[in-house]
Amino acid sequence: MNILDKIIVDKKREVILKKSIIPVSQLEASVFFGKETISLSQSLRISPTGIIAEHKRRSPSKSVINHDFTVEEVVKGYENAGACGISVLTDGKYFGGSLDDLLLARASVNIPLLRKEFIVDEYQILEAKAYGADLILLIAAVLTRQEIKSLSEFAKSLGLEVLLEVHSAEELEKSIMPTLDMIGVNNRNLKTFEVSLDFSKQLASQIPDDFVKISESGISSIEAITELKPYGYQGFLIGENFMKTDNAGKAATEFIEQLTKN
């Protein structure tokens, strides 16, 4: 069993437990549940840089990245740096995140927030909305076409945008549907953790222009973004590169300033 399979098995158990503790009615009573969401896809279409910065404490491939920052420090730093949106990891066991991180981020900034999670159930989408997310992530590698369809339709019914993550032509082919807003190509193979920008380059022409194209993982230089822009990418998700420094906001500011000059 690879790491992705393990995560999904744990996630399904976790969702069953959460459902038994917190009823849907409690999530729907959240102060954020009726809040109008902010569109990341619109922001990326008009942005000269397209940076989506990530709050991420650790990962299965890198172990600890950074435990020293508060969520508020990181996300305010990202917003001040000019990031288009912020991705917040909410998985606890493998990434050291939580829904409270999302809640604190929402209380701190007014730019689009992505709940970065392994979504396998509509309940997690209700949580995303209740805790202040503007969009959710669906991972094609762990979902069937029918699951992508029903989960994306449910997200849209709540006013949330949908970012679909793919890693291969097969995943892309099974997933394309009108209820998606953005398609992200993960440059990291979630089964082997090998990273290569070639994944983004190879899949670019197969992603219809109706969707905002996002390149995710392994982007640590201005050159990487310059290399990917001609392929039609408008969004670039960067986490580790900022989080591994002693000041994520400052690192993001310097990166975005340099990107703007280029």
pLDDT the model gives residue 62? 66
Low pLDDT (below 70) residues in the chain = 61-67, 190
Cα gap 125→134, rounded to integer Å: 11
3 state SS of 142: helix
- Quote helix, strand, coil % in the chain, to nearest 5: 45, 20, 35
Q: How far is CA 141 from the centre of its chain?
A: 15
The Cα 184–Cα 50 span in angstroms is 13
Instruction: Residue 216: count other Cβ atoms within 10 Å of its Cβ.
Output: 26
Residue 74 neighbours by CB under 8 Å, 6+ apart: 55, 243, 248, 249
| Predicted local confidence at residue 1, as pLDDT | 79
DSSP 140: G
Q: What pLDDT was estimated at residue 32?
A: 96
**The predicted structure's pLDDT at residue 179:** 98
Q: Look at residues 199, 119, 220, 102 and name the one whose alpha carbon lies nearest to residue 163.
A: 119
Residues 215 and 235 sit within 8 Å (Cβ to Cβ) = yes
pLDDT at 156: 98
Q: How far is Cα 250 from Cα 173, in angstroms, rounded to an integer? A: 39
Q: What residues are annotated to the active site?
A: 54, 56, 116, 165, 186, 216-217
Query: Alpha carbon 79 to chain centroid distance?
Result: 16
pLDDT of residue 172: 97
Question: Tens digit of pLDDT for each residue in 59-80?
Answer: 876 666 666 789 999 999 999 9
